[in-house]
Amino acid sequence: MDGAYFSGNVVVPGLGFRWRDLFVAAASLVFVWCKVRPHIPLEIEDHIAALVRALFARVTPYVTVTIDEHAGDTTFGGRSELYLAAESYLGAACSARARRLRADLADGSDRVSLAVGDNEEVVDEFRGGGARMWWRKTAKTRSFFFAWTRRNNDDEEERRAYELTFHRRHRGLVEAAYLPHVLAEGRAAAVRNRQRRLFTNSAGGGGGAWSHVKLDHPASFAKLAMDPAKKQDIIDDLEMFRDGKEYYAKVGKAWKRGYLLYGPPGTGKSTMIAAMANFLDYDVYDLELTAVKINTELRKLFIETTGKSIIIIEDIDCSVDLTGKRNNTRKKKKKQQRTMIAIEEEEEDGTKVTLSGLLNFIDGLWSACGGERIIVFTTNHKEKLDPALIRRGRMDMRIEMSYCRFQAFKVLAKNYLDIDDHELFGEIRRLLEEEVDMTPADVAENLMPRSKKRDVHATLAKLIATLNNTLMMPRQHAPMDVPRSRPNEE
């Protein structure tokens, strides 16, 4: 007759009063509490809550860990890194099970991120359900005034925290494995949600400081016109790097990698860097060396870069004079109108940016400020670079961006005309492979439709005519021409 215990007139076993009385007493308590609560100062309410928790703690086997939003140090704007990681972790791993969520745009991003709402409880099954974790986000308003002043009180301060509750037998597991797991996964989710940024030190920052804009470049490896085998090598190398945290730690190397991209203008060096950043989901720091006056500024800029980033120094041969001899003819080029920085020898007083300063930063310094950074140099004149700058170990991969050959053309034809094959491809192949050096930028320009009505045949015929015209012109070996060669990566 178990069910009879719940009929109102039945006496609660062992206690000597009826269920109905128990129910009325509990309801009265709740009623009184609701009435009185708005008039209780929060400090007292906290004490009552602590008392209730302490009473419960005596009878329950569950342990609760609180992760407060505010932290002592200001690294994350005064917020606790663990709190932020827990927020991202729960948003990614458990929000599907939550019924009350908060949507937000992360830091000027277009991506909406979801977080678990206030006072919502979500359950996380760790180790395939072997350990159950209950998470609750709590938000309390702390006021130093009494409750009747609370509603319109601007001095109110919100205390947010995550409460993690688990069975006490999982205590060791939570400390040793679960919280580190939350931290790592939460950091990774935060990186995925963030708006990537393009930092520059030339605009606004006064040369010695970074300013940033939203990084939103459509480049991708799929759209990059180059030899497919070489492209695959680069993708493999980047993947190895991205997933190589443990490997770098094991061999005792700083988790960084250097790339040198060289080739004539318009062969896709800058496009390749954008594709790399998009592929890896990294930020980009575009370091304008000519805007940096002294080594100490350069050091500061390097230290301020964060992990998961690509630091690029474009046209390195124009930014730093590696021989100390200035070449007057180069001044004609727009980008070479920049002030040259004499770096032949490091100035005694350390007031100039020098080659040795640059090498020091590349080698030593950044290994001390965290990992996961890629540095990319670009140049139109590889032969003019100081061997010290591009030796193995500093530049791990040297990639030649070359004139457009047939395989690269096929990518552009797909991008611009949406075709995989055409009767004119044979002629284009012959011209590009055997006769004419044309940059992918120029080929792409010829493939751009001139009107809404796209005439593929006419466009390809026009490209052939342009290629033939180029063939007619006497070939100039401008100083920036790299010797014609098949794309090959060193």
Ligand X SMILES: Nc1ncnc2c1ncn2[C@@H]1O[C@H](COP(=O)(O)OP(=O)(O)OP(=O)(O)O)[C@@H](O)[C@H]1O
Q: Indicate whether 440 belongs to the interface with ligand X (CB under 6 A).
A: yes
Residue 267 binds which one of Mg ion, ligand X, none, with CB within 5 to 8 A depending on kind? ligand X
C-alpha–C-alpha distance, residues 374 and 305, integer Å = 11
Unique residue bearing structure tokens 């927020």: 87
Q: Which parts of 385-424 interact with ligand X (CB under 6 A)? A: 401
* Cβ nearer to Mg ion, comparing 333 with 430: 333
Locate the DSSP E strands across 215-308. 256-262, 283-286
Residue with smallest beta-carbon separation from ligand X: 268
Candidate list 226, 313, 316, 428; residue touching ligand X; CB under 6 A: 226
Which residues, 69 to 128, sit near Mg ion by CB under 5 A? Answer: none
Contact in structure between 98 and 116 (CB atoms under 8 Å): yes
Helix (H) or strand (E) holding 142, with range, is strand 131-142
Please report the DSSP string for 368-421 in residue order. Answer: GS-S-EEEEEEES-GGGS-HHHHSTTTSSEEEE-----HHHHHHHHHHHH--S-
Name the 3-class secondary structure at 293: coil
Question: CA 98, CA 87: separation in Å to the nearest integer?
Answer: 13
Fill in the amino acid letter for 290. Answer: T
**What number of chain residues touch ligand X (CB under 6 A)?**
15
Chosen residue from 270, 290, 379, 380 binding Mg ion by CB under 5 A: 270
Q: Alpha-carbon distance 111 to 194, whole Å?
A: 8
Say if residues 395 and 258 touch (Cβ distance below 8 Å). yes
The CA distance from 346 to 356, in Å, is 7
Tell me which of Mg ion, ligand X, none is bound by residue 441, counting a contact when its beta carbon lies within the kind-specific cut-off of 5 to 8 angstroms. ligand X
Query: Cβ 334 to Mg ion, closest distance in Å?
Result: 12
Window of 40-48, 209-217, 440-448, 460-468 that interacts with ligand X by CB under 6 A:
440-448
Task: Name the one range near Mg ion by CB under 5 A: 141-149, 220-228, 267-275, 344-352.
Answer: 267-275
Q: How far is the CB of 335 from ligand X (least distance, A)?
A: 7
357 binds ligand X (CB under 6 A): no
The tokens for 319 are 């930014």
Main-chain phi, psi angles of 313, to 5 degrees? -120, 105
Mark the segment that binds ligand X (CB under 6 A) among 29-37, 169-177, 222-230, 447-455: 222-230
195 and 98 in contact (C-beta within 8 Å)? no
Q: One symbol per residue from 256 to 275: x for binding ligand X (CB under 6 A), - otherwise; what is it? A: ---------xxxxxxx----
Q: Among Mg ion, ligand X, none, what does residue 93 contact (CB within 5–8 Å per kind)?
A: none
CB of 304 to Mg ion, least distance (A): 24
Minimum CB separation from Mg ion for residue 154, in Å? 52
Site for ligand X in 371-390 (CB under 6 A): 380
The smaller minimum CB distance to ligand X, of residues 173 and 390, is found at 390
Task: Return residues touching ligand X (CB under 6 A).
Answer: 224-226, 265-271, 380, 401, 440-441, 444
Task: Return residues touching Mg ion (CB under 5 A).
Answer: 269-270
